[in-house]
Amino acid sequence: MATFYNQATLSYNGNVTGSNITTGEIVGVISANKNATTDSYNSNGNVTYVVNIINSGNTDFTNLTVTDNLGKYTTEDFPTGLVPLNYIADSVSYYVNGIKQTDPTVSEEEPLIIEGINVPANGNASVIYTVRTNPFAPLGENAQITNTATITGDGIITPVSAEAVVNHSDDANLAISKSLDPAVVPENGTITYTFNIQNYGSKAVATTDDVIFKDTFNPVLNISSVTFNGTSWAINTDYSYSTSSGDFQSLEGKITVPAATYTQDATTGAWAIQPGTSTLVITGTIASTN
């Protein structure tokens, strides 16, 4: 809503007189909301946004522009701002009253500027696009990205804004790698498999999460030792193993992995991840195939 004032003047014989002042109000008929298709984000992950523009008036609005700040934020160390999201090229689509239209024009990618949006009288338009988090996306507990879209164009007196907030995921985010030593082993020789389990998430894996490790050793091993983070494991207490099939499996509640730690570079503003790591080591001799 915008208030406007108007006064007329009348000049005659060198005199000027003014009329009364009239007051009016312009009621906005364009509104907008913005939603993310996911409540959380991870490092180097995608987020899709939907901007809905509603026209409650009796006149069409044409050639509107949607400008997205891509979550730009400032800190004491970075007062000029950091941009945590990158637009994924060619991901934008556009619907009017639920009917897909020709893709609109992206004239800039930072900030993201989308042009050529039409909203019919008593109708709506939806603009959908996908972004990817970059090294400037905040990480860790309570981290979030607040993303704002602003709609401008002919007929809109006051720009209309809508925002969406997504939080850094508080779930565990696991990866595993496997190595063998030695790579060349004689018949009936001893080999060691080392498994590094890494957690890139802000939540530690606890015994109650029941993460299960599985592997099938081929050739089958005659296992001589199993350790997890340096502590010995016992068969049927911590793991199960079949000497006929080579199937190895940890029992419930045995795998734990600490949470990752996150730091922001004071010079560049980029965030770095130090994953939490647990190590499973399995040693044995190659079983005879006879």
Same domain, 187 and 252: yes
Instruction: Report the distance separating Cα 129 and Cα 148, nearest Å.
Output: 13
Same domain, 164 and 179: no
Asked if residue 14 is part of any domain, the answer here is no
Q: Is the bond preceding 84 in cis, omega lying within 30 degrees of 0?
A: no
Measured at the CA of 207, the angle between CA 283 and CA 215, to 5 degrees, comes to 35
- The DSSP element (H or E) to which 147 belongs, if any, is strand 144-152
Contacts of 138 (CB under 8 A, 6+ apart): 73, 84, 144, 145, 168, 264, 271
Domain boundary among 141, 168, 195: 168
pLDDT of residue 28: 62
- Would you give the distance in Å from CA 59 to the centre of its chain? 37
Whichever domain contains 273, its CATH number is 2.60.40
Please state the pTM of the whole predicted model: 0.81
Domain boundary among 168, 183, 211: 168
Same domain, 162 and 247: no
For 133, the token pair is 């988090």
DSSP β-bridge partners for residue 151: 66, 160
Same domain, 105 and 182: no
Same domain, 226 and 150: no
Same domain, 39 and 148: yes
**pLDDT tens-digit readout, 258-269:** 999 999 999 999
pLDDT of residue 75: 93
User: What pairing do the DSSP bridges indicate for beta strands 15-18 and 112-119?
Assistant: unpaired
* Three-class secondary structure assignment of 191-202: EEEEEEEEECCC
Same domain, 200 and 264: yes
* Contact in structure between 218 and 245 (CB atoms under 8 Å): no
Asked if residue 23 is part of any domain, the answer here is no
Same domain, 260 and 240: yes
Same domain, 275 and 200: yes
Nearest CA to 199 out of 262, 140, 275, 279 is that of 275
- The DSSP element (H or E) to which 108 belongs, if any, is strand 105-109
pLDDT of residue 84: 98
Residue 230 has a CB neighbour count (10 Å cut-off) of 7
Q: Which domain holds residue 279?
A: 174-286
**pLDDT tens-digit readout, 214-250:** 999 999 999 999 999 999 999 999 999 999 999 999 9
Instruction: Report the distance separating Cα 49 and Cα 106, nearest Å.
Output: 15
Confidence band for 7, pLDDT divided at 50, 70 and 90: confident
Question: Residue 251, class by beta-carbon neighbours within 10 Å (0-12 exposed, 13-18 middle, 19+ buried)?
Answer: middle
pLDDT of residue 239: 98
Same domain, 51 and 156: yes
Same domain, 47 and 160: yes
Split into its structural domains, the chain has a count of 2
Asked if residue 250 is part of any domain, the answer here is yes
pLDDT of residue 1: 55
Asked if residue 18 is part of any domain, the answer here is no
User: Mean pLDDT, the chain, as a whole number?
Assistant: 93
pLDDT of residue 135: 97
Asked if residue 222 is part of any domain, the answer here is yes
DSSP β-bridge partners for residue 53: 32, 125
Write the DSSP symbol of residue 208.
G
Same domain, 111 and 237: no
Answer whether residue 142 shows pLDDT above 70.
Answer: yes
**pLDDT tens-digit readout, 98-125:** 999 999 999 999 999 999 999 999 999 9
Domain boundary among 143, 168, 193: 168
Nearest CA to 70 out of 60, 57, 82 is that of 82
Buried b (16+ CB within 10 A) or exposed e, 252-262: eebbbbebbeb
Residue 273 has a CB neighbour count (10 Å cut-off) of 21
Asked if residue 3 is part of any domain, the answer here is no
Whichever domain contains 34, its CATH number is 2.60.40.740
Answer whether residue 18 shows pLDDT above 80.
Answer: no
Asked if residue 180 is part of any domain, the answer here is yes
Asked if residue 9 is part of any domain, the answer here is no
